[in-house]
């Protein structure tokens, strides 16, 4: 009787957005054309239950397809699930990483709670095509997890779904302990899933009626999610307004570290005001150009830099400056310390060369570790809590109502 009760508790510590769910199926969809060539596709749909990670591994074996056959061909698993057992969601995440499976939620599908945890295990092509065993460390290659336009991804902490009745105190305590251990396990593997542990509270909504939806710019930024909507592209002739530059500066400063940028805008405003006030006290005239534009050269091509303070250095002695370059073909941001604008640009010298300036030792490194992921996107140029479906509308509003920044 006691054994049965413990099994019931294990099922109660579940994550599901609906009771109208069914046990998951793992479906082999074949080899299809992807964005960067042929890819093997699987589909996982239904409620997450005990043993689903083993079923995914078995489906991969049954397909007779592996990375060893073709190390350059992606294997992608599409997720459509209301959730299920929290600990099995973590098992799926680590299994996806060991098996070298990228994850995607396709348009019209939803992946919630335990499924969202599993989604985080999506990984890029393995550096070594040999499968990683259970007793070995998780592979360290970068994540590959993406949302199509119209997909839904929602996170939730484990909770107890218990019907009315009398329960032994020990039974409830066991259930509570299982939930706590599940969260502790997620924290333990967060780094290996390329999630900064300090950002996990976003994903652990404490009330069963709440859910953290990954449906805005900040969510896909700090979670390292590729949002597969390419309807709005940054092009060489693109015009940038001051608001777009500010958004790009702050969003990228944090998102390139897999951190939320939401609080960063208040930090940037405080740094800006502090710089202006200090410049007025020094009477150096820099208070009027705390946001400014400077001409420079990128090789033989003329270009410009917009600059503004967005924070303070760790020792608090100087400001952290964002420098926004439209580039020649690809815009970017980089960051440098400086007490004054004169100090900030002292390295440019007579050559006025952007390349040597950006690559100098004083540059504050901000990177995901992959140059493609580090490239600026349209998503970077809007406020962090802009809904993904509203990005184009917000950018068009900026360009319709604000002056485009230039060095003229």
Which tens digits make up the pLDDT trace of 19-51? 445 678 999 999 998 877 889 999 999 999 999
Residues 167 and 282 in one domain: no
d(CA 258, CA 228): 19
Low-confidence ranges of the chain (pLDDT < 70): 1-22, 160-167, 172, 206-208, 231, 235-237, 328-329, 408
In which order are the strands placed within the sheet that holds 110-112?
Answer: 110-112, 152-155, 212-213
* Inside any domain, residue 233: no
Q: Note whether 246 and 310 are same-domain residues.
A: yes
Residue 8 pLDDT: 42
For residues 191 and 290, state if they share a domain. Answer: no
Alpha carbon distance 259, 367 (integer Å): 11
User: How far, in Å, CA of 392 to CA of 77, rounded?
Assistant: 29
Q: Is residue 219 part of a domain?
A: no
Q: Clarify whether residues 192 and 265 are in a common domain.
A: no
Can you give the pLDDT at residue 228? 78
Same domain, 186 and 267: no
What's the number of domains the chain is made of?
A: 2
Which of the listed residues 198, 214, 230 is the one where a domain comes to its end? 214
Q: Number of helices and strands (H, E) in the chain?
A: 11, 16
For 146, the domain range is 2-214
Q: What is the pLDDT of residue 166?
A: 65
- Both 264 and 186 in one domain: the answer is no
Cα separation, 358 vs 354, in Å, equals: 6
- If asked whether residues 88 and 161 sit together in one domain, one would say yes
CB 287 within 8 Å of CB 304: no
255 with 167, same domain: the answer is: no
258 and 210 in a common domain: no
Residues 180 and 295 in one domain: no
Residue 200 included in any domain = yes
Q: In this structure, are 300 and 351 located in the same domain?
A: yes
Task: Compute φ and ψ for 90, nearest 5 degrees.
Answer: -65, -40
Q: Which 3 state secondary structure label does DSSP give 145?
A: strand
Residue 135 sits in the same domain as residue 7: yes
Say how far apart CA 73 and CA 291 lie, in whole Å. Answer: 46
For residue 121 the two structure tokens come to 């295990």
The pLDDT score that the predictor gives to residue 12 is 44
CATH of the domain at 210: 3.90.226.10
For residue 73, is it within any domain? Answer: yes
pLDDT of residue 17: 46
């Amino acid at each position: 009787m006691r054994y049965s009760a413990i099994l019931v508790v294990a099922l109660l510590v579940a994550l599901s957005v609906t009771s109208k769910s069914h046990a998951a199926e793992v479906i082999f969809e074949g080899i299809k054309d992807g964005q960067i060539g042929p890819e093997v596709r699987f589909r996982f749909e239904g409620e997450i239950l005990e043993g689903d990670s083993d079923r995914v591994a078995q489906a991969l074996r049954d397909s007779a397809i592996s990375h060893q056959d073709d190390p350059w061909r992606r294997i992608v698993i599409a997720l459509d699930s209301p959730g299920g057992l929290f600990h099995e969601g973590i098992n799926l995440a680590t299994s996806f990483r060991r098996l070298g499976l990228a994850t995607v939620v396709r348009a019209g599908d939803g992946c919630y709670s335990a499924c969202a945890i599993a989604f985080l295990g999506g990984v890029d092509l393995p550096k070594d095509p040999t499968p990683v065993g259970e007793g070995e460390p998780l592979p360290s290659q970068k994540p590959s997890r993406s949302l199509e336009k119209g997909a839904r991804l929602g996170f939730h902490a484990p909770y107890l779904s218990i019907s009315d009745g009398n329960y032994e105190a020990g039974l409830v305590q066991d259930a509570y302990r299982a939930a706590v251990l599940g969260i502790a396990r997620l924290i333990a593997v967060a780094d290996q899933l390329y999630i900064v542990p300090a950002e996990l509270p976003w994903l652990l909504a404490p009330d069963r009626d709440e859910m953290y939806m990954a449906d805005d710019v900040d969510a896909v930024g700090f979670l390292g999610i590729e949002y597969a909507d390419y309807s709005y592209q940054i092009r060489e002739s693109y015009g940038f307004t001051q608001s777009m530059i500010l958004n790009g500066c702050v969003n990228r400063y944090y998102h390139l570290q897999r951190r939320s940028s939401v609080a960063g805008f208040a930090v940037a405003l405080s740094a800006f005001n502090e710089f202006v006030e200090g410049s007025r006290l020094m009477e150096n005239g820099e208070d009027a150009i705390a946001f400014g534009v400077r001409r420079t050269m990128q090789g033989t091509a003329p270009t410009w830099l917009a600059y503004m303070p967005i924070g303070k250095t760790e020792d608090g002695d100087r400001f952290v400056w964002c420098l926004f370059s439209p580039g020649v073909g690809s815009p970017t941001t980089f960051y440098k310390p400086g007490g004054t604008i004169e100090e900030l640009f002292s390295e440019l010298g007579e050559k006025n060369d952007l390349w040597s300036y950006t690559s100098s030792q004083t540059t504050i490194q901000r990177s995901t570790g992959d140059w493609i992921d580090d490239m600026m996107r349209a998503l970077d140029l809007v406020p962090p809590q802009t809904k993904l479906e509203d990005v184009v509308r917000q950018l068009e509003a900026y360009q319709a109502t604000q002056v485009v920044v230039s060095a003229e």
